[in-house]
């Protein structure tokens, strides 16, 4: 009797995790994992997104055709370059966010409110951020336009300038991203070991040297998360491009995420297979960073 | 503490800091302040080119206008219809997955865990065509539940990461002791672990609320038109109609920003705990 119940308990403990996982795994499998597989296979087809009268898939297998076309597509090249600009310039969020965090890491009256208000841009939807910056950049009366007019004598309508437009959008994206990085560093600074700082101070370390040799090494976990969320933020840049320029002028502010959407659901017709191929490229780029993240997590797990 | 506390500096330096704080804040929030002020500026001011001078009055009518003459109220209700079920769904699912991954040492554990984490970082575009197609096939295109189901599934990745780490940090002896007493696994989850999860549930609820309220991409891909579009997509299409009527665009923007901002202010501590992922405790 006792044996049987012990075995029952053991079986229960083997089965339990899978029962707890089942609903979550099912949803995640259906909506995330399986679509990735489908998208990859779809990228070898030419498909307009429709089914014939019998409900059959109407795609035509084209092998590497979509990818070969991508190689020759100037719009794809522009998007790729712009993605690179996003990635590189988005990293500015780290030093700026750290700077603001250091600036705000004091205990004066009302500082809590200041910290929250500095964090505001991150809480707001990117759609709203995009509209705010469009207003800021607006030709003729926008503050940015007036500012450039007073300095150079001629105003710059940054969102209408094919050379500058991407930088204008990236600046808008940096605003909430800096706020996010700032909050990560503020939390990190809160946990810097005070005794180490004091010891270093007694040794005569201050300013930059203190920051570089004593504080930054202790902020490493915060920096790691900040890099990850910033890279993902840069590669996910869809909302701002869509709201501020629709990829224009003349397609010069396209990024991969936006170009993919344009190809699959936009005015260029429903080129699902071609869109899927763009998505696969974006996915592969992201995978480089995801693997790095997972590798680091795996190492940390083993150390525990 | 780094940097050195300002109280240890000379009096002029302290003064300088006290003055620098509000100035820096105004510069930092400039786009937000400008838009907030524009939303209360009468249309006639803008027509006369008075964008930044003294407004001739406070125009609450801008807000009245967008509520009575545009479907913005409906868009906001639609957003709630997507957001609230998503919060409930994603938090419930991830409580269970997080529990499974934190408490049981089965062989595929780490693999399943990393799969959730990795899935969470995938670009939306790789999911777009199949998810849209599936939603259409199931007759859920343009419905709140079609959108909410996707969000629940996707957010489960991030929420599982969070819940699992939270449960891992709980004292494992509690669970051991209950097992010795012969408590079943489900009851351990329900009566021992769940009551301890309140802070994690609060943190994830505010975060997921904000993420979903602010989502634009999936709103565009899975909904269309006034009946089911959430506020982000709605605002974008209204923006197309209100070409250069900045007092209206501004009022709409402020309205769309309000719920997450309120949520953040009410639940600040939880919000930040969630965002820092517990990685920088």
Q: B124-137: per-residue pLDDT in tens?
A: 999 999 999 999 99
CB A21 within 8 A of CB B96: yes
Indicate the residue among B65, B83, B116 that finishes a domain.
B65
Please check whether residue A36 touches B, CB under 8 A.
yes
Kindly report, residue by residue over B2-57, the tens digit of the pLDDT: 888 888 888 898 999 999 999 999 999 998 998 998 898 888 887 777 777 777 88
CB A176 within 8 A of CB A124: yes
One domain for residues B82 and B53: no
The domain of B42 spans 6-65
The DSSP line for A39-72 is: HHHHTTEE--S-B-TTS-B--EE-TTHHHHHHHH
Cα A201 off chain centre by: 38
One domain for residues B164 and B258: yes
Please tell me what DSSP assigns to residue A153: S
Please tell me what DSSP assigns to residue A158: G
Tell which A residues from 209 to 268 touch B, by Cβ distance under 8 Å: 210-211, 214-215, 221-222, 224-225, 228, 232, 235-236, 238-239, 242-243, 256-257, 260-261, 264-265
Residue closest to B95 by CA, chosen among B175, B202, B211: B202
Mean pLDDT in residue range A235-242: 93
One domain for residues B48 and B91: no
- Alpha-carbon distance B258 to nearest alpha carbon in chain A (angstroms): 8
Identify whether B106 is part of a domain.
yes
Kindly report, residue by residue over B246-279, the tens digit of the pLDDT: 889 899 999 999 999 999 888 888 887 777 765 4
CB B188 within 8 A of CB B179: yes
One domain for residues B172 and B120: yes
pLDDT at A5: 62
CB A227 within 8 A of CB A185: no
Percent of chain B scored above 90 by pLDDT?
60
What is the 3-class SS of A232-299, one letter each residue? HHHHCCCHHHHHHCCCCCCCCCCCHHHHHHHHHHCCCCCCHHHHHHHHHHHHHHHHHHHHHHHHHHHH
One domain for residues B123 and B60: no
Determine the residue among A12, A13, A18, A21 to mutate to test chain B binding: the one whose Cβ has the most chain B Cβ atoms within 10 Å.
Answer: A21
| Greatest mean pLDDT range, A181-190, A207-216, B84-93, B182-191 | B84-93
Q: How many beta-carbon pairs below 8 A join chains A and B?
A: 287
Q: Phi/psi at A51 (nearest 5 deg)?
A: -120, 155
**Which of A191-200, B83-92, B139-148 has the weakest average pLDDT?**
A191-200
pLDDT at A51: 86
Identify whether B280 is part of a domain.
no
Percent of chain A scored above 70 by pLDDT?
96
- Chain B residue numbers touching A132 (CB-CB < 8 A): 31-32, 34-35, 253
One domain for residues B109 and B122: yes
One domain for residues B21 and B150: no
What is the 3-class SS of chain B, one letter each residue? CCCCCHHHCCHHHHHHHHHHHHHHHHHHCHHHHHHHHHCCCCHHHHHCCCCCCCCCCCCCHHHHHHHHHCCHHHHHHHHHHHHHHHHHHHHHHHHHHHHHHHHCCCCCHHHHHHHHHHHHCCCCHHHHHHHHHHHHHCCCCCCHHHHHHHHHHHHHHHHHHHHHHHHHCCCCHHHHHHHHCCCCHHHHHHHHHHHHHHHHHHHHHHHHHHHHHHCCHHHHHHCCCCCCCCHHHHHHHHHHHCCCCHHHHHHHHHHHHHHHHHHHHHCHHHHHHHHCCCCCC
Mean pLDDT in residue range A173-180: 96
Name the residue with tokens 């506020």. Answer: B231
**Which domains can be identified in chain A, with CATH numbers?**
2-42 (no CATH), 73-270 (1.10.3720.10)
Identify whether B281 is part of a domain.
no
Which among A31, A124, A298 has CB closest to B261? A124
**What's the number of domains chain B is made of?**
2
Cα B155 off chain centre by: 11
Q: Which two tokens stand for residue B117?
A: 């984490």
Please check whether residue B19 touches A, CB under 8 A.
no
**pLDDT confidence bin for B280, thresholds 50/70/90:** very low
Mean pLDDT in residue range A195-203: 86
CB A135 within 8 A of CB B249: yes
**pLDDT confidence bin for B281, thresholds 50/70/90:** very low
One domain for residues B98 and B202: yes
Identify whether B210 is part of a domain.
yes
Cα B13 from Cα B10, distance rounded (Å): 5
Q: Which two tokens stand for residue A16?
A: 């339990």
pLDDT at B277: 61
Which among B106, B110, B253 has CB closest to A132? B253
Q: Which two tokens stand for residue B54?
A: 């003294």
Residue closest to B142 by CA, chosen among B85, B73, B82: B82
Cα B140 from Cα B75, distance rounded (Å): 18
Q: Do B214 and A124 touch (CB under 8 A)?
A: yes
pLDDT at A32: 96
One domain for residues B131 and B252: yes
Please check whether residue A147 touches B, CB under 8 A.
no
Indicate the residue among B49, B65, B81 that finishes a domain.
B65
pLDDT at B50: 72
Kindly report, residue by residue over A33-85, the tens digit of the pLDDT: 999 999 999 999 999 888 888 888 888 899 899 999 999 999 999 999 999 99
- Residue count of chain A: 304
Q: Which two tokens stand for residue B101?
A: 């991954």
Mean pLDDT (chain B) is 90
Mean pLDDT in residue range A108-127: 91
Identify whether B1 is part of a domain.
no
Q: Identify the CATH number of the domain in which residue B244 sits.
A: 1.10.3720.10
One domain for residues B95 and B39: no
How do A60-61 and A45-46 pair as beta strands? antiparallel
Identify whether B61 is part of a domain.
yes
One domain for residues B152 and B263: yes
Name the residue with tokens 């659901």. Answer: A265
Kindly report, residue by residue over B235-246, the tens digit of the pLDDT: 999 988 887 788
Q: Phi/psi at A182 (nearest 5 deg)?
A: -60, -45
Name the residue with tokens 């219809």. Answer: B81
pLDDT at B130: 95
One domain for residues B46 and B93: no
CB contact set of A209 (below 8 Å; sequence gap of 6+): none
Cα B83 off chain centre by: 9
**pLDDT confidence bin for A1, thresholds 50/70/90:** very low
For residue A217, pLDDT beyond 60: yes
- SS3 label, residue A205: coil
Indicate the residue among B43, B65, B87 that finishes a domain.
B65
Give pTM, 2 decimals.
0.92
């Amino acid at each position: 009797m006792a044996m049987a119940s012990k075995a029952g308990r053991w079986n229960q403990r083997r089965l339990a995790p899978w029962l707890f996982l089942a609903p979550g795994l099912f949803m995640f499998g259906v909506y995330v994992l399986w679509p990735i597989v489908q998208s990859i296979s779809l990228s070898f087809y030419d498909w307009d997104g429709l089914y014939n009268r019998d409900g059959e898939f109407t795609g035509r297998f084209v092998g590497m055709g979509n990818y070969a076309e991508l190689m020759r597509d100037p719009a794809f090249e522009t998007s790729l370059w712009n993605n690179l600009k996003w990635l590189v310039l988005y990293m500015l969020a780290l030093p700026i966010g750290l700077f603001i965090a250091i600036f705000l890491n004091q205990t004066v009256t009302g500082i809590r409110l200041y910290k929250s208000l500095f964090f505001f841009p991150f809480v707001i939807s990117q759609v709203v951020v995009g509209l705010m910056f469009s207003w800021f950049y607006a030709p003729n009366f926008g503050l940015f336009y007036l500012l450039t007019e007073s300095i150079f004598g001629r105003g710059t309508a940054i969102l209408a300038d094919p050379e500058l437009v991407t930088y204008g959008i990236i600046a808008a994206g940096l605003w909430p991203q800096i706020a996010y990085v700032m909050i990560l560093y503020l939390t990190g600074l809160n946990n810097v070991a005070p005794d180490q700082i004091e010891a270093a101070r007694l040794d005569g370390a201050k300013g930059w040297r203190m920051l570089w040799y004593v504080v930054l090494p202790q902020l490493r976990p915060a920096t790691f998360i900040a890099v990850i969320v910033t890279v993902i933020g840069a590669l996910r840049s869809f909302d701002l491009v869509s709201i501020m320029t629709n990829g224009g002028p003349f397609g010069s502010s396209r990024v991969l995420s936006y170009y993919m959407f344009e190809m699959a659901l936009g005015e260029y017709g429903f080129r699902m297979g071609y869109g899927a191929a763009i998505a696969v490229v974006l996915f592969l780029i992201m995978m480089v960073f995801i693997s790095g993240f997972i590798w680091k997590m795996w190492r940390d797990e083993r150390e525990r | 503490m780094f940097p050195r506390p300002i109280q240890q500096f000379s009096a002029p330096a302290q003064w300088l800091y006290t003055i620098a704080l509000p100035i820096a804040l105004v510069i930092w929030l400039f786009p937000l302040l400008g838009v907030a002020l524009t939303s209360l500026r009468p249309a006639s001011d803008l027509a006369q080119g008075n964008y930044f001078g003294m407004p001739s009055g406070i125009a609450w009518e801008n807000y009245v206008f967008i509520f009575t003459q545009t479907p913005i109220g409906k868009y906001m209700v639609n957003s709630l219809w997507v957001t609230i079920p998503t919060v409930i769904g994603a938090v419930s699912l991830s409580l269970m997955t997080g529990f499974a991954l934190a408490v049981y040492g089965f062989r595929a554990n780490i693999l399943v865990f990393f799969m959730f984490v990795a899935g969470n970082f995938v670009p939306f575009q790789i999911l777009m065509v199949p998810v849209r197609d599936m939603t259409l096939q199931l007759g859920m295109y343009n419905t709140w539940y079609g959108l909410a189901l996707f969000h629940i599934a996707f957010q489960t990745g991030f929420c599982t990461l969070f819940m699992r780490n939270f449960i891992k940090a709980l004292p494992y002896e509690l669970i051991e002791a209950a097992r010795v007493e012969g408590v079943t696994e489900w009851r351990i989850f329900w009566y021992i672990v769940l009551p301890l999860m309140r802070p994690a549930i609060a943190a994830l609820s505010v975060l997921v609320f904000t993420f979903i309220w602010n989502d634009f991409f999936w709103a565009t891909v899975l909904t269309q038109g006034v009946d089911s579009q959430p506020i982000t997509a709605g605002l974008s299409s209204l923006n197309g109609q209100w070409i250069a009527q900045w007092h209206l665009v501004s009022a709409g923007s402020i309205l769309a920003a309000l719920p997450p901002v309120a949520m953040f202010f009410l639940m600040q501590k939880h919000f930040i705990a969630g965002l820092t992922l517990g990685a920088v405790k």
